Amino acid sequence: MKNWKKIAEASQLPIPEPDLDRITPSLDALEAAFRPLTKDIPDDVEPAVSFFVFPERAE
Amino acid sequence: MTILEAAAALRKRSVSSAELTEAALTSVRELNPKFNAFITVLEDAARAQAKAADAELSKGTDRGPLHGVPIAVKDVFETRGVLTTCGSALFKDNIPTRDAAVVEKLAAAGAVLIGKTGMHELAYGITSNNPHFGTIRNPRDPDRIPGGSSGGSGAAVASEMVFMAMGTDTGGSIRIPAAFCGTVGLKPTSGRVSRYGVMPLDFSLDHMGPLARSVRDAAVTLQTLAGFDPRDETSSREAVDSYVPADGSSIRGVRIGLPENFYFDRLDPEVDAAVRRMAKNAESLGAHVVPVRVPDIASLNAVGRVILLAEASAVVEKYAGRRDQFGADVMALIDQGRLVAATDYINAQRLRRVMQRNFAQLWRRVDCLFTPTTPMGAPRIGETTVQLGDQTEDVRLASTRLVRGINVLGLPALSMPCGVDRRKLPLSLQIVGRPFDEALVLRVGAALENAGSGA
């Protein structure tokens, strides 16, 4: 798992240690769910950063 | 009484807008101390709007079904010259200089704005237990949460203070309070209703829509609000449909997908039974219920959480140093978002594209999906976990589990009551449709409601 405290420190985020302790389990759980998904993204897929719904893709 | 019934009564002169408005204000005075649904009540302005509506209607100027009808908007919609807090201490004195597009359109339709409803702080949570403006309570059981983040809108509609209240939905924030309070809630397709003038929680997941007393009232509201707005970069030019189902509209032949995976896992058994009963009712009205397997919604939810954490933290980054002005739960989410790597955010948006394509395959087989809106009825205020079967689940994650993914996909979704549980708490059906096919979703919902299924 990632060391969230070190990441916060390196990013110079002034998050108090007790608050970091409180959010660590949530971040770990999300990391465990999300990380495996990134391994299979096809190379040519672009991000939906500007998100539009394309009705033609309904069919 | 519904919006359409009030509209008919106004045109028959059996009631005036002034009378409806006075009744709404009386109801707010009596009930708001108990439920805390409103942050701001606009008594004088509402009376003036009602008087103007009566004058116009008597002269034959008819702005449509919302003309003269008392409504409310969540305190995230900017209102020119009127306090708009977003449920946050950061904005406790914020007086906008413009109206949100939604507020403009409701005013143009002649609706009477009774006030601004309370909400979960910054629209970032589902309890509406607000540390700055107080706890909002569920009219069905005041010891329970109304859901959120549009909790004040849910409470205001469920307690019949107003006919309709606008909400916003980033991960279920219209549909969850609709479910917990026993109202109808509609999250339109991304781009269908303008986001202009709405204080954002998130750039790519926010949606605007009504909480209402009936499916047709939600449809009437969408008809008023839908359309392209050049001031919102994600606003769609897709043609606006006719959303209000005609009396007796048929759903014969409509293909309803009933998921075999994910959506019926870890539910209160009464929720499971109620939603399946709705599918049976639809079948008895001539619809075809088709068992389907849906793409991986758990992964879709994980993608949605990465996007929301990163985008919401970006929105409030400039305020994040004022830690004492945030509630603990919201600060914790903001801190989490600040720790999301840029590469993870971008990959979440790439996965969103992949999943949107995968999900689109489903529409070859069905016209809409039936799912529960929430896995259980409203939790008690202060509860942090719920027991579902043999598993204990975080209240926030459980409440958003069946709705969050639909925001990631941008699809239209309607929540409507489908009975009550052993504690008399409302249960809710979610109907999810193709992009921009709100008309079908509303037609199916109205048919079920007509058949008495929405009680």
Alpha helical stretches, state H, B285-409: 297-316, 328-338, 342-360, 395-400, 404-409
- Cα pseudo-dihedral B95, B96, B97, B100, rounded to 10: -150
Look at chain A and report how many structural domains it folds into. Answer: 1
Is A50 part of a structural domain of the chain?
no
- Which residue of chain B has the CA closest to A22? B332
Is A56 part of a structural domain of the chain?
no
Select from A27, A51, A55 the Cβ nearest to the Cβ of B339. Answer: A27
Residues in B 292-331 with any Cβ partner in A closer than 8 A? 298-299, 302-303, 305-306, 309, 321, 323, 331
Contact state of B356 with A48 under an 8 Å Cβ cutoff? yes
Select from B344, B436, B437 the Cβ nearest to the Cβ of A34. Answer: B344
Strands B164-169, B70-74: pairing kind? parallel
CA quadruple B345, B346, B347, B348: dihedral sign: positive
Q: Quick check: B21 and B46 in contact, CB under 8 A?
A: yes
Residues in B 361-400 with any Cβ partner in A closer than 8 A? 363-364
DSSP B329: H
- pLDDT given at position B242: 98
> Which residues does B44 contact at the CB level (< 8 Å), separation at least 6?
none
The 10 Å Cβ neighbour count of residue B439 is: 19
Q: How many residues does chain B have?
A: 455
Please determine, for residue B9, whether its predicted confidence score (pLDDT) is greater than 50.
yes
> Which residues does B368 contact at the CB level (< 8 Å), separation at least 6?
B254, B255, B256, B257, B431, B432, B433, B434, B437, B440, B441, B444
Contact state of B299 with A8 under an 8 Å Cβ cutoff? no
**How wide is the angle at C-alpha B112 spanned by C-alphas B73 and B50, nearest 5°?**
160
Is A29 part of a structural domain of the chain?
yes
The residues of B annotated as belonging to the active site are: 74, 149, 173
Asked which of B25-34, B224-233, B316-325, B446-455 is least confident by mean pLDDT, the reply is: B446-455
Is A27 part of a structural domain of the chain?
yes
Q: Which long-range contacts (CB under 8 A, 24 or more apart) does A34-38 make?
A: A34/B302, A34/B303, A34/B305, A34/B306, A34/B344, A34/B348, A37/B299, A37/B302, A37/B303, A37/B347, A37/B351, A38/B344, A38/B347, A38/B351
- pLDDT given at position A54: 56
Which residue range(s) make up the domain with A21?
1-38
End-to-end CA distance of chain A: 41
pLDDT for B223-258, tens place per residue?
A: 999 999 999 989 999 999 999 999 889 999 999 999
CB pairs under 8 A between A and B: 110
Strands B391-394, B385-388: pairing kind? antiparallel
Contact state of A57 with B360 under an 8 Å Cβ cutoff? yes
Confidence of residue A59 (pLDDT cuts 50, 70, 90): very low
- pLDDT given at position B132: 98
Confidence of residue A52 (pLDDT cuts 50, 70, 90): low
Residue B413 contacts A where some CB pair is shorter than 8 Å = no
A38 CA to chain B: closest CA distance, Å?
Answer: 7
Please determine, for residue B64, whether its predicted confidence score (pLDDT) is greater than 70.
yes
- d(C-alpha A13, C-alpha B327), whole Å: 18
Is A45 part of a structural domain of the chain?
no
Within 8 A of A7 by CB-CB distance, chain B residues are: 339
- d(C-alpha B342, C-alpha B320), whole Å: 18
Which value does ipTM take for this structure?
0.89
pLDDT for B291-337, tens place per residue?
A: 999 999 999 999 999 999 999 999 999 999 999 999 999 999 999 99
pLDDT for B99-147, tens place per residue?
A: 999 999 999 999 999 999 999 999 999 999 999 999 999 999 999 999 9
Residue B347 contacts A where some CB pair is shorter than 8 Å = yes
The dihedrals phi and psi of B387, each to the nearest 5 degrees, come to: -100, 120
- Label residue B113 exposed, middle or buried (CB < 10 Å: 0-12, 13-18, 19+): buried
Residue A15 contacts B where some CB pair is shorter than 8 Å = yes
- d(C-alpha B66, C-alpha B224), whole Å: 8
B102 CA to chain A: closest CA distance, Å?
Answer: 20
Q: Which amino acid is at B104?
A: E
- pLDDT given at position B275: 98
Q: Quick check: A27 and A2 in contact, CB under 8 A?
A: yes
- d(C-alpha B403, C-alpha B43), whole Å: 35
Confidence of residue B400 (pLDDT cuts 50, 70, 90): very high
Contact state of A45 with B354 under an 8 Å Cβ cutoff? yes
Q: Which domains are present in chain B?
A: 1-292+362-455 (3.90.1300.10)
The 10 Å Cβ neighbour count of residue B203 is: 18
- Cα pseudo-dihedral B343, B348, B354, B357, rounded to 10: -140
Integer Rg of chain A from CA: 17
Residue of B303, B339, B351 to mutate for A, most A C-beta atoms under 10 A: B339
Whose CA is closest to B435, among A34, A28, A52?
A: A52
Locate the DSSP E strands across B15-88. Answer: 38-41, 70-74
Residue B226 contacts A where some CB pair is shorter than 8 Å = no
